[in-house]
Amino acid sequence: MTQTAQINPIATVPLAEFLQLKKNEALTIIDVRTPAEVNNEYLEGCHNLPLQELDEDTFNNLLNQANVQTPTAVYLLCGTGMRAKKAAEKLSAINATKILVIEGGMGALKAVGEKTQQGVGKTISLERQVRISAGALVVIGIILGSVINPALYGLSAFVGAGLVFAGVTDTCGMAMLLARMPWNRA
């Protein structure tokens, strides 16, 4: 009889519960934001493993380097909770450890007054970079379509279709591309 690997459902830990646990015990917390975002602001005691680099090997290497011996649970953190959910999906398929997404991410932690550490970085969040880039491309497409050739309105249409796709699938190609840019790397 073959034994199948256990796949854990993705669970979210309420913010108040996480903060209480954090006060009382040492937790394994992984921040899945880009190194540049973590360099701007971070939660003390977190390990950084960007979502775009997350796989079984990088996860296990991080735990080994941090001297974490088979944690009972791993808490995932990002800006709002969306990237942490994506990371949880990846990890739940490759690891039997209980994976918990911190509800609301860094934004929620700051909203309730949790102390964060200020880094030396000046990079804006990946979500804002996507909004700025998408908006700029739409405006450029409209200007180029008006001034040069109406066919260039297609740029705005392409960006709009990409935003619709991102909303429906919860996968943003522009965010994945921007996360790999030099200013978002350590």
Q: Contact at 8 Å (CB) between 31 and 126?
A: no
C-alpha dist (Å) from residue 115 to 44, 106, 108, 131, 164: 9, 10, 12, 27, 36
Contact (CB, 8 A) for 77 and 43? yes
Q: Per-residue b/e over 46-66, b at no fewer than 16 CB within 10 Å?
A: bbbbbbebbeeeebeebbeee
Please state, in angstroms and rounded to a whole number, the distance separating the CA atoms of residues 96 and 146.
55
Query: C-alpha angle with apex 56: 85 to 105, nearest 5 degrees?
Result: 25
Sequence-distant (6+) residues with CB within 8 A of 24 are: none
Is residue 172 part of the annotated active site? The answer reads no
Catalytic position from the list 76, 78, 88, 102: 78
Residues marked as catalytic: 78
